Amino acid sequence: MVVTGASAGIGRASARAFADRGDTVALLARGTRGLGAAAEELVARGVEVRTYPVDVADPDALDAVATRVEEDLGPIDVWVNVAFTSVFARFVDVEPAEYERVTTVNYLGFVNGTRSALKRMLPRDRGTVVHVGSTLAYRGIPLQSAYCGSKHAIQGFHESLRTELMHEGSAVRVTMVQMPAVNTPQFSWVLSRLPHQAQPVPPIYQPEVAARAVVHAADHPERREYWVGTSTMLTLVANAVAPGLLDRYLARTGFDSQQTDAARPPDQPANLWEPADGPDGRDFGAHGRFDDRAIATSPQAWASRHHGLVGAGAGVLAAATLLARRAGRR
């Protein structure tokens, strides 16, 4: 299992979830401090693990790492694209170089990772690529134009690639997991020009909820995508039905809902150009600062993973209701 962005957040939680069931894991990220700590967690779980410091924005370096992974650990079965960065600011307050950097890491980083994975998977005619997406792959919100744009791009890339693989009859699979707001360290290290501390738009889910969905998607990649969280489901449905109404709602609430009442710390690191968890940084872990507000379970995510069971249960309930009504009429 190859996981990019494995030093923190969803990537780190996903790596732990793979390790918990005995998988061999390759951890990729820029931050060496976070990578080392993540590796220690996996070693404690009794699995084989290797770390590979790399910037996913560099396609040659990333492909060289893919070669090393296969030399060290064997053929890559699953490649999970997670790594990202962002800027919290109004579009007019983001410099062109910053916008380009976010796009290169988030969008082309997924493209680069997928290319390296397919280069090895297609000749074997097996393997899976999992894209960690977002509700924001469909619905843009204020203060995150660079991130939203990159996630929209990933969605289009995913759909195009998936149809090509289907056309060719390939056994290689690609799937995407659309995430809700997650309690990750990004809100403590993403470059921010907001006056107050950035926060996820509630409701907030713990990264382990996201990790369970990633592992399931890796095991069941036939689905084009999975939705995680009731908020994701409601947002995507509302955006499909009444996007203009959602525009007005977000224009009114989107600025305040993404900031706490506390002022942004003046010494907050920014991982746009350099990792915040590098040799001189600290290990941020998988969780952010919102543990007291984050949700550890998602019935919707469970239902999304078990459509057949949910459908069968609904059918049984409908049949029982119909029989009860008929019996009552008699």
| Of 16, 4, 3, 87, nearest in space to 286 by CA | 16
| Active-site choice (52, 107, 138, 147) | 147
Q: Verify whether residue 147 is a known catalytic residue.
A: yes
Question: What type of residue is 13?
Answer: A
Burial classification of residue 9, based on how many CB atoms lie within 10 Å of its CB (0-12 exposed, 13-18 middle, 19 or more buried): buried
List Cβ neighbours of 260 (8 Å cut-off, separation of 6 or more): 196, 197, 198, 199
Please, what sign has the CA dihedral across residues 209, 106, 16, 121?
positive
Q: What is the amino acid identity at position 82?
A: V
Task: Collect all residues with Cβ–Cβ distance below 8 Å to 245 and sequence separation of at least 6.
Answer: 238
Nearest to 180 by CA among 228, 235, 142, 250: 228
Which residues are designated catalytic? 147
